[in-house]
Structure 1
């Protein structure tokens, strides 16, 4: 009996499983159930007559044969994607999906104007926006682009400004400042309750200040540590201490006088958010359209 020919769908599924080291994550990306994907891989292995994946109840990893096949197939799958992109370029409007990695604050900024305008202008496009505090490798994890602060963008990426420079400021509630005199210098923060920020790596974020060319980095002390700047702002409003957050996240609180800026002259603006993508790869039509919208809105802003 002749074995069934290999399908592109099976090879693409194998690549995603090896990339994610997970049946569940690959199945989610493909819109399949994990059991369907597992059956697909057993069929592929049977047709090839070789085991491609080592499975346990907790993990999945490629065998040597599976690793070799994925490595050899990667350029061919990429060529297939490029061929579809070339056809897509002949459409009046681009279609397909765009996968973007962003921090949660960046995702909120996208939702304000950029995403609504992009999806309205290009209704045949879909966007998969993944929020993650980690600075992920967008190439290795299958993203078309990422959005992070300029200082975090890898140097080998093409970066497009998403907005103006961003400023981190220190804020506290009027009630807190009634009981604790406002700090005059960053060193004074050692005598205050500070709301610390925990980075995705688990390390505390060190507060950075600058004045007259003098840069200071402060390790703050306090009894509250959080991992979300919106919640940090709420904690400061409740008088739990001084928070160090992006200015735009507390603009409404400051306008309503629920928060007051301190150490104002020690908080200059720094690089804002940037959309970035690999410069050495073909830029998909959908990503080019997204960049067009980003540049328009960034210019207006």
Structure 2
């Protein structure tokens, strides 16, 4: 559909504010991009952009047209993608931001599997524990723990029942002893992570339906969740981590769960996007895929716990 392609070029040019950048992102020449805009303006009998040698901006008519056509074009593209999905073909580019620990150690191999299943999907992956601004940055999706930072965002559940777990390495426990109660954490070196700009050093638990918080301290703090996990595995102290982050370490015995009667705070894992209209068949397939992988991982850990209890 030629008109759909021209509308896509118009939208991308408006978003980037640059003909050359829009052309680069759409794999076109600047001349072809400019020609498409001119054809669209001729069809509408109005100027959509005000141009100079150094700048490009939407006219009032262009702003009005963008507001009306942007959601419509997305819906049409989703409909076209749905038809392709019926042919068992998913394609497109997904720009996704992953948390440091889970992303680097667990999700990256899963994404390899996803692309084997859907070879026409291109992934652009960034890894950081900082919540990407998916309204401004080149990010379609962000995989993150916890509650929504913005009520306007859409959260697609991946592991809604995930919780934090208190853990340490066997070497650390052999040297410093195993705490039997949360009050004993004040005697231990606790490895803290950062949430935004503040240190998360008040750890929250659930005890028989009541929230209990414990102030902790230690000699190491990091905004990178993977660094905290590595310190714990290396025997540097006690960590309070998402179960998914340390699930393989627990299964392999590199880490030991502490105070199991105290329920760690909820850390639901969600796939975030800025607008529900962005949820294409590719994104739906990715959500289902990640959900299945997380379910299988949690199930394997629960089975191992059941075996240990039986023994």
Q: TM-score, normalised by structure 1?
A: 0.69
Structure 2 residue ranges without an equivalent (≥5) = 1-5, 39-48, 300-311
Contact 1:117–1:293 under 8 Å retained in 2: no
> How far is 1:76 from its partner?
3.1
RMSD over equivalenced CA pairs, Å: 4.2
> How far is 1:203 from its partner?
0.9
- Would the alpha carbon gap of residues 291 and 249 (structure 1) be closer, same or farther in structure 2, given more than 3 Å must change? closer
Counterpart of 1:79 in structure 2 is 72
Counterpart of 2:41 in structure 1 is none
Counterpart of 1:208 in structure 2 is 204
Of 107, 110, 114, which residue of structure 2 is paired with 1:110? 107
Of 142, 162, 170, which residue of structure 1 is paired with 2:158? 162
Counterpart of 1:3 in structure 2 is none
Contact 1:100–1:147 under 8 Å retained in 2: yes
> How far is 1:84 from its partner?
3.6
Counterpart of 2:170 in structure 1 is 174
- Please list the CA deviations of residues 140-199 of structure 1 after superposition, one character each: whole Å capped at 9, or x if unmatched: 545443322253465555544323622322222334334434333333222222111123
Aligned residues: 271
- Would the alpha carbon gap of residues 282 and 264 (structure 1) be closer, same or farther in structure 2, given more than 3 Å must change? closer
- Would the alpha carbon gap of residues 275 and 156 (structure 1) be closer, same or farther in structure 2, given more than 3 Å must change? same
Contact 1:236–1:242 under 8 Å retained in 2: yes
> How far is 1:213 from its partner?
2.0
SS of equivalent residue, structure 1 residue 99? strand
Contact 2:132–2:139 under 8 Å retained in 1: no
In 1: Cα distance, 2:190 partner to 2:23 partner:
40
- Would the alpha carbon gap of residues 135 and 178 (structure 1) be closer, same or farther in structure 2, given more than 3 Å must change? same
Of 269, 272, 277, which residue of structure 2 is paired with 1:273? 269
- Would the alpha carbon gap of residues 196 and 116 (structure 1) be closer, same or farther in structure 2, given more than 3 Å must change? same
Counterpart of 1:99 in structure 2 is 95
In 2: Cα distance, 1:161 partner to 1:229 partner:
21
In 2: Cα distance, 1:180 partner to 1:126 partner:
48
In 2: Cα distance, 1:173 partner to 1:28 partner:
52
SS of equivalent residue, structure 2 residue 199? coil
Q: TM-score, normalised by structure 2?
A: 0.67
